């Protein structure tokens, strides 16, 4: 499936950008008149900022290339953003769901950043991108943002004594998440977590790759 109406694609992307902007401003505390120091430390915000920048660039590109046959701006960056957001959503849902509540209520900005934006990004790919374009080696590279974040956190905090705590980890650990702190989870536990996430999300990438190939095959069969 590929909707080639670029006006519809632009409108969808602009709606996604609005949700992401409000979510990021809310997560940073700016809508409440203050700033959360832990904001840039959390992967939720890192992945959503990356995604926001991508979609702003994609809208500009679509406006400038309305007559082009191409449907997708910088596909590899888009797949990286999409997989990173799916990582964000799945970890938040299955491991950190309690952290999405404040005073017993779901925090709307966390719902947008953890669910609405990731799902809209996935649907953007399903609805508007030409299928059959994902390279077979792609899933090995789409976790580059996740791996860069993990490497930075482990080196900055572990090797240089930096501080990335905050949010749910305030006064518990200098790491952004307790499952990354060897003092809490053990060095073996941290290594096992990182390895299992790597395997799981490479598998996720290949699931998306398989869906991409299947949808392309069905499109060719109908044509």
What is the per-residue pLDDT across 122-178, written as a single tens digit (0 to 9) for each? 999 999 999 999 999 999 999 999 999 999 999 999 999 999 987 666 678 999 988
Biggest alpha carbon–alpha carbon distance for the chain: 60
pLDDT for the residue 1 = 64
What are the distances in angstroms from CA 28 to CA 1, 31, 37, 106, 167?
A: 37, 8, 8, 16, 11
Residue 81 belongs to a domain: yes
Q: Which domain holds residue 44?
A: 6-222
Residue 1 belongs to a domain: no
Instruction: Quote the pTM value.
Output: 0.93
List Cβ<8 Å contacts ≥24 apart for 4-10: 4/71, 6/62, 6/66, 6/71, 8/128, 9/62, 9/71, 9/124, 9/127, 9/128, 10/59, 10/62, 10/63
Work out how many domains the chain is built from and give that number.
1
Residue 122 belongs to a domain: yes
Q: What's the pLDDT tens digit per position in 179-208?
A: 899 999 999 999 999 998 889 889 999 999
CA-CA distance, 71 to 17, in Å (whole number)?
A: 18
Residue 31: pLDDT band (50, 70, 90) is: very high
Residue 34 belongs to a domain: yes
pLDDT for the residue 220 = 84
């Amino acid at each position: 499936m590929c909707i080639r109406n670029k006006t519809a694609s632009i409108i969808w992307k602009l709606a996604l950008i609005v949700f992401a902007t409000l979510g990021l401003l809310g997560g940073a505390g700016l809508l409440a008149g203050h700033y959360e120091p832990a904001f840039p430390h959390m992967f939720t915000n890192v992945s959503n900022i990356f995604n926001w920048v991508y979609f702003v660039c994609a809208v500009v590109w679509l406006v400038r290339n309305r007559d082009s046959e191409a449907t997708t701006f910088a596909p590899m960056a888009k797949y990286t953003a999409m997989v990173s957001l799916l990582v964000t959503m799945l970890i938040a849902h299955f491991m950190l769901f309690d952290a999405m509540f404040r005073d017993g209520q779901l925090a709307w900005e966390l719902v947008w950043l953890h669910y609405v934006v990731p799902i809209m990004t996935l649907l953007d790919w399903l609805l508007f991108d030409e299928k059959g374009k994902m390279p077979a080696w792609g899933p090995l590279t789409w976790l580059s943002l996740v791996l860069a974040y993990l490497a930075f956190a482990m080196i900055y905090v572990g090797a240089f004594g930096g501080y990335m705590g905050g949010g749910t980890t305030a006064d518990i650990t200098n790491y952004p998440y307790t499952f990354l702190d060897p003092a809490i989870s053990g060095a073996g536990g941290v290594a096992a977590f990182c390895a299992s996430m790597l395997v799981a999300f490479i598998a996720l990438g290949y699931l998306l790759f398989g869906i991409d190939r299947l949808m392309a095959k069905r499109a060719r069969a109908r044509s």
